[in-house]
Structure 1
Amino acid sequence: MNTLFIVNKAAGNGKGKKVWLQLQQQLTIPYQVAFTEYAGHGQEIAQQWAQQQQDKKLLVVVGGDGTIHEVVNGVVHNEYILIGVVRAGSGNDFARYFHTFSNAQQIEDYVKTTLANARMDAGIVQIGNQRTEIFVNNAGIGFDAYVTKSINTSRLKFYLNKIGLGKLSYAVAVIRGLFRFERFDVMIRSGEHEWQFQQTWFVAMSNQPYFGGGMKISPAAKADDGKVDITIVHGISRIKLLLVFVTVFFEKHTKFKEVTFLQGQDFDLIVANKVDCHADGNYIGIVNQGTNIHCTIQQNAWQVIVKDS
């Protein structure tokens, strides 16, 4: 089987490079390797490789959720590409839900014997006529995207990664944002149903349960059920929101009346204020007042490795 490693050496503030060097020393099977050099490069590499000869290929991502997001965007609906991951990011939410490789031996065993895989859904978020993004884990508007933007423009994540505490960068950014973020109103529609939410902190659109480095924000979400799960946190004070974030790790946030869960195939969101938006932790810009955000799911959109039963 043709095997390509797409390596983000900068992932996890250099963890990607360290993980790759270790893998490289241990691999004995034939393979190709490509290194990402800028934002969006992972998608370009994956697209180019996927367009080559039509046979089964294993594409192993060495990186974090952002790199995985790019790669899956590059191979979505390709019948021949199987996605594997060696975790090397800060949050690693993908690896909390999907099966991943831990070492070179597992990769070699997979290539030589099992090739077990499963087809997964991909989330789609379309912002007016401006932009369409595929997401693997989740997308969101509001506070979580605001925090994502803060992390990406701060040196804090760099220093925390240096001492092996990169996942804390999200928690620190959350606390900072509590006192700066401006809440918004949002209308959500699905079919004949319509909901209005005031003083909203965020709307998370999930294809699997985890976001923000291990917070199980949407416990019922599954990546193969043909549905997108929406979590809305609204009408809650700044201090109580902090309590909600703490309880998310233990799935106790579901008991708060200010946390609403919706599930379906299609949703439209219209915001009354400008809000930030992200997909899989990649900041994708500002959504303007009155812009329609369409969120849906595409079934059987990509293939991921699974444990051989």
Structure 2
Amino acid sequence: MQLLIIVKPSVKKAVLEHLDWLKKTCQKKNILYITVKTTGNYEYDLASIKANAQKSQIAVAIGGDGTLNLALNGVINSTCSLAILPCGTGNDFARSFHCTAKQWQNAIFNAPTHLIDIGKINTRYFINVAGVGFDAHVIKQLGHLQSMPAWRYKWTSFKSLFTYKASTLQGVFLNKQSEYPNLITVFANSQYFGGGIKIAPRAEIDDGLLDCYQMQASSVVNHLFSFIKLLFKRHHTLKRLTYSQLKEAHITTKNLFVEADGELVGVTPAIIAIHKQAINFHIPIKKRLQ
């Protein structure tokens, strides 16, 4: 058996502790391991992970949602299962499980894997949330910051509400043509995004569906009202929000920024789809899905 460790180099205490624990545990269990330290060059890192995934049985991503997304895209077409030791800025995917660091550690070797759904937007797979509109705009505003506190994302989001210029979005949702001024259009496989905002409280990672939120743009006052509603998990009551569950959608408008798991991944047009039971994921026993 061989373990593939994918880690973003960091001096953060949590990262170093997870990495040290994992290496020592492998040594105690006589498990071979190989470590891929990410460089920030997506294509280079992806090729390295893909090559090593072919000879590994478990891949462990140490970091946040961006590292998890990279690991996912590297192992998705292999027989490698995927585990995470969350220690990033937002940890939005891991947040839905409400598990401790110790529980995530135990899941790597002591819990059965569970087949979960994976989203895909054009050529990029995502495990948590993908979006077009305001969320992608905020990520672009933040640039290539190596790390940031969750509050900075929320603060940048709040400030950007005053300057964001919405674009008209055209697409096909549930086999129906739609056109609207787009504040945000989100496709959620899990519940949280943006450093702890519970955008999709009804989302499940094994139901074969993406929870889609189409929030129309309006005035700055209405945008602020929508943002506050979102923070307090009351956005389902918004009149300019369309909520649906779907398996596939098409966005035909060109040159709108696209984000997936908190990373800018390209521009529209885009095809968004769910891939049911696409990967074996290590879920802590306490929160393992029934």
- Shared fold (TM-score greater than 0.5)? yes
**Cα distance change on mapping 1:232 and 1:29 into 2, 3 Å:** same
Question: Who is 1:87 aligned against?
Answer: 86
* Aligned pairs for 1:1-309 within 5 A: 1-10=1-10, 14-15=11-12, 18-26=13-21, 27-30=24-27, 31-40=33-42, 41-52=44-55, 57-79=57-79, 81-98=80-97, 102-103=101-102, 107=105, 110-111=108-109, 114-126=110-122, 132-153=123-144, 161=148, 166-190=149-173, 192-197=175-180, 199-271=181-253, 274-287=255-268, 292-308=269-285
C-alpha deviation, 1:240, in angstroms:
2.5
RMSD (Å), alpha carbons: 2.4
Check whether the contact 1:84–1:100 (CA below 8 A) recurs between aligned residues: no
Q: Which letter maps to 2:40?
A: Y
* Whole-angstrom distance in 2 between the partners of 1:192 and 1:282: 28
* Whole-angstrom distance in 1 between the partners of 2:171 and 2:107: 47
3-state SS of paired residue (2:135): helix
Please give the TM-score of this superposition, normalised by the length of structure 1.
0.81
Please give the TM-score of this superposition, normalised by the length of structure 2.
0.86
3-state SS of paired residue (2:160): helix
* Whole-angstrom distance in 1 between the partners of 2:108 and 2:257: 40
* Whole-angstrom distance in 2 between the partners of 1:242 and 1:6: 39
Check whether the contact 1:78–1:302 (CA below 8 A) recurs between aligned residues: no
Percent identity between the aligned chains?
Answer: 27
Check whether the contact 2:107–2:282 (CA below 8 A) recurs between aligned residues: no
* Whole-angstrom distance in 1 between the partners of 2:18 and 2:86: 12
Q: Which letter maps to 1:277?
A: V
CA displacement 1:127-170 (0-9 Å, x = unmatched): xxxxx2111111111111010111125x6x85xx4xxxx00111
* Whole-angstrom distance in 2 between the partners of 1:238 and 1:187: 22
Q: Which letter maps to 2:264?
A: Y
* Whole-angstrom distance in 2 between the partners of 1:23 and 1:267: 38
* Whole-angstrom distance in 2 between the partners of 1:218 and 1:24: 31
C-alpha deviation, 1:99, in angstroms:
7.2
Check whether the contact 2:111–2:284 (CA below 8 A) recurs between aligned residues: no
**Cα distance change on mapping 1:141 and 1:262 into 2, 3 Å:** same
3-state SS of paired residue (1:29): helix
CA displacement 1:23-67 (0-9 Å, x = unmatched): 3444333343231122325433331122126xxx22211111111
**Cα distance change on mapping 1:89 and 1:134 into 2, 3 Å:** same
3-state SS of paired residue (2:138): helix
* Whole-angstrom distance in 2 between the partners of 1:218 and 1:23: 29
* Whole-angstrom distance in 2 between the partners of 1:102 and 1:78: 27
CA displacement 1:234-276 (0-9 Å, x = unmatched): 14322322232232233201101011112111111222x7422
* Whole-angstrom distance in 1 between the partners of 2:206 and 2:198: 17
**Cα distance change on mapping 1:44 and 1:274 into 2, 3 Å:** closer
Question: Who is 1:129 aligned against?
Answer: none
Q: Which consecutive residues of structure 2, in runs of 5 or more, have no partner in the other structure?
A: 28-32
**Cα distance change on mapping 1:259 and 1:182 into 2, 3 Å:** same
3-state SS of paired residue (2:202): coil
